[in-house]
């Protein structure tokens, strides 16, 4: 099967809602803020501004990687880029593998930077490709293609293991990631796709110079469930389906990775449903919060739909700050949790 066809199937399955991690989806519900009934704040004066990749953004949000392959990619990426520029938040593109291998843009060209000239823009390809001929040259092409501020290397070993066409050789990748760090001259972000990055691995990655860790834990889209839906045989589907809820929930991952890597920039993604979950992610250790599947329907519809979606998330986040007595994102990081809630 062509890679473009596979990416189209992935998008359709995610849109169908059949690939959510039901077992881990409520992990953020276990995190409860102490409600501050006398916040001594003006809601309208609460600042959500922060810095990310050397740029000021209006809220600590990134539209996480969605797609780089299907024909719909150009529309999706255009709508997201326009929305991110309007809102002043970051954008991470989907995998650029197809565009790099085919020598075309596939909706991932310089026009994205033209549509979003002032916000952080992140390129992306998979770590497994570093054992398939990708290296510093391809990393530079990915960055130059969209004039990116950073490059994401995504980790998806479970998806590759249960995918009929998956890449199974994951040996020697940490030194290859380190080589990219040393040679690219831009920040490298390492991101899981929905099973989480452990504290131990996060520490190893930071020690070789990785600038940003995207925990991307369990709780959102299950790529094992996606592959189960598209498996060519019942046997392969059964193998993949057993791992539908595999992984470390995002709240747990954030606490542990922050403790292990206090100096790192951390993105909290995986199962972020709304601005309240975003607030909880920040309290647990995230600097920036990412959402992908939750915004996909809006991204397919229009830039205006993406703007409205994230305006709601931003308003929810601001109210969560207000009701925790937090006048800023920095203050939210130390907001009190309710008695008995995870610290």
CA nearest neighbour of 261 among 209, 331, 330:
209
The string of DSSP letters for 73-84 reads HHHHHHHHHHHH
Cα dihedral 89, 95, 101, 107 sign: negative
The string of DSSP letters for 201-221 reads HHHHHHHTT--EEE---BSSB
Encoding tokens for residue 265?
Answer: 């920039």
Encoding tokens for residue 287?
Answer: 């600097």
Rounded to 10 degrees, the C-alpha dihedral 229/78/289/294 comes to: -40
User: Which residue in the block uniquely carries the two structure tokens 């929905």?
Assistant: 194
User: Which residue in the block uniquely carries the two structure tokens 């925990």?
Assistant: 215
Pairing of strands 288-291, 55-57: unpaired
The pLDDT of residue 98: 84
Start-to-end C-alpha separation, the chain = 47
Q: How far apart are CA 113 and CA 76, in angstroms?
A: 14
User: Which residue in the block uniquely carries the two structure tokens 């929305």?
Assistant: 83
Domain spans, the chain: 3-21+61-316
Encoding tokens for residue 215?
Answer: 């925990």
- CATH class of the 3-21+61-316 domain in this structure: alpha beta
Instruction: Walk along the chain (343 residues) and give the pLDDT tens digit of each residue.
Output: 455 565 666 555 555 556 565 444 469 999 999 999 999 999 999 999 999 999 999 999 999 987 645 567 888 999 999 999 999 999 999 888 888 887 765 667 889 999 999 999 999 999 999 999 999 999 999 999 999 999 999 999 999 999 988 899 999 999 999 999 999 999 999 999 999 999 999 999 999 999 999 999 999 889 899 999 888 899 999 999 999 999 999 999 999 999 999 999 999 999 999 999 999 999 999 999 999 988 888 999 999 999 999 999 999 999 999 999 999 999 999 999 997 555 4
3-state secondary structure 256-275: HHHHHCCCCEEEECCCCCCH
The pLDDT of residue 278: 98
Q: How far apart are CA 334 and CA 336, in angstroms?
A: 6
Gyration radius of the chain's alpha carbons: 19
Query: Which residues does 146 contact at the CB level (< 8 Å), separation at least 6?
Result: 93, 96, 108, 109, 110, 112, 113, 121, 123
Helix (H) or strand (E) holding 226: helix 223-229
**For the chain, give me the number of helices (H) and strands (E)?**
15, 10
């Amino acid at each position: 099967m062509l890679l473009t066809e596979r990416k189209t199937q992935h998008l359709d399955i995610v849109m169908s809602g059949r690939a959510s991690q039901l077992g881990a989806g409520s992990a953020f519900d276990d995190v409860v803020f102490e409600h501050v009934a006398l916040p001594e704040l003006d809601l309208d004066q609460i600042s959500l501004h922060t810095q990310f990749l050397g740029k000021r953004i209006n809220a600590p949000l990134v539209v996480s990687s969605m797609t780089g392959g299907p024909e719909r990619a150009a529309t999706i990426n255009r709508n997201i880029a326009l929305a991110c520029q309007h809102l002043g938040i970051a954008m991470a593109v989907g995998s650029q593998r197809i565009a790099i291998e085919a020598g075309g843009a596939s909706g991932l060209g310089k026009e994205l930077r033209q549509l979003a000239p002032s916000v952080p823009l992140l390129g992306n390809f998979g770590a497994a490709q570093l054992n398939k001929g990708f290296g510093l040259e391809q990393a530079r092409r990915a960055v130059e293609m969209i004039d990116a501020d950073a490059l994401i290397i995504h980790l998806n070993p479970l998806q590759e293991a249960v995918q009929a066409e998956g890449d199974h050789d994951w040996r020697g990748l940490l030194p290859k990631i380190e080589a990219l760090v040393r040679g690219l001259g831009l920040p490298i972000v390492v991101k899981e796709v929905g099973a989480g990055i452990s504290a131990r691995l996060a520490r190893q990655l930071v020690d070789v110079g990785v600038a940003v860790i995207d925990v991307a834990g369990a709780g959102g889209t299950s790529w094992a469930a996606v592959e189960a839906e598209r498996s060519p045989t019942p046997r392969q589907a059964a193998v993949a389906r057993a791992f539908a809820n595999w992984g470390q929930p995002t709240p747990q991952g954030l606490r542990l990775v922050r403790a292990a890597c206090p100096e790192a920039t951390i993105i909290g993604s995986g199962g972020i449903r709304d601005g309240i979950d975003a607030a909880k992610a920040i309290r647990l250790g995230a600097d920036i919060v990412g959402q992908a599947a939750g915004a996909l329907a809006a991204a397919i519809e229009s830039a205006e739909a993406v703007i409205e979606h994230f305006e709601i998330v931003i308003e929810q986040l601001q109210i969560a700050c207000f009701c925790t007595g937090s006048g800023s994102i920095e203050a939210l990081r130390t907001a009190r949790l309710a008695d008995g809630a995870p610290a």
